[in-house]
Structure 1
């Protein structure tokens, strides 16, 4: 007598099974069960991450009364729907200035960090000199120090050079924080590029700078995208260095500016949530623009820095 399992998934000789393949699901073939566990876990993780983001985005179009009352309204309709928070935030001259400051500082930090990181990574990857490994380890060791530990001496140094409350002071601070990890990223990608290409170009008369510009950089674009995106997010989201180095307020950025919708007695939750959502948009847009390069860079195996 055929087993019940065989009966469930019985198929004709000339066609695929019309029934559930219970052997694959419950038998020795565990590939489907593994897939269910993996994708089920990813779905739970994605849901855990997505729910706060969706709640934040939907709260921007809820009336202030609904937000403060904490009523469970997923999609606001009618009198519960409003675009007043966006109007309040986007028409605020101070918020627009904060956005301009963040843009100038973040992109300038990316440019400076990539310039120094590419040159440093090329040196560490292509030249053999005493202390090279120690130098890289020393750079990475600075990432182990909490920012609060170095903020006071850094402020004193910036103050002595009259760089407090200037774009340059904040750009230097952000570059110093982002450069070690960016350097490690870039060196790993440069190491994956065969040195035979350099040698061939050198035989043809190319200088080191031409080799770097025409060979190394084009081949390492995914790694440069990873380092650039990391640097942008580090600078764009910084709060500590901006709060200390921007004494007069003229160079404050968006993360610090979220406090502008708060007072000693109350918080404008609608405007604060909307400002926070707008603050997150540039990072999301930038990731969407360079996601292919970032994924290629992270998957290429060039993330080592030895």
Structure 2
């Protein structure tokens, strides 16, 4: 780990204006530790002390990984996710490469909060899934290869205890092209069905965590407390009306945790298998489905309706 400093005009120390660079080789993750991860999620989040120098250094770390390989193993299928040349760095609020790390955070003492902007970028994505213990028809691996992609993350923290209040995660993908045979499409449905139980448990757990978080943050008060909080928020807004920092903070504020996926074009090609036992009556039949400007949004802390 080598500190890279740049002249940023910081009166305290040059480290706060530069990057700390970490370059691991090839970490490998596994889904086998699901029980331990679930246990960690159930624990109460540990909040540190007041947001200070150590937090600024950790939030400004630059990470570059040559290759990331994640293996998922199930009784139905084995899958792997590989990302190449992963880069994690702090960005400006307008997602530009900063010359000074102080421009990658917006601090509002009036609110007692700070906004942090991070970007994760990688060159290629390779996803492969193979059925285990299935019939002969599902032995063909299911593959998806995508080009450059990036994730933009905005995190809002409290200055008093460095606890995360909310965050926004946006996955930006290049144009996608996925060619599937009928057999591979059936295999994809089989994989999705095998993950149904896990997805349902994850959704229930997310709802419980969301309810606990809203309760801890005081977002589920009675009517009298709600009116009092509304009056206090209006008064604080009026007090900060003349502050340029407050207006700048409000421009990029993250009001609620959310997840987003955006791609300009997604082409899905379905074609018949090149063998005698065809699934369609037409030899060489195919279908193309195109999604333009596809966008998916998910707000876990907001119930439907």
For the aligned pair, the TM-score class normalised by the smaller chain equals under 0.3
Larger radius of gyration between Structure 1 and Structure 2 = 1
Structure with the bigger percentage of strand: 2
Query: TM-score by structure 2 length?
Result: 0.22
Structure with the bigger percentage of helix: 1
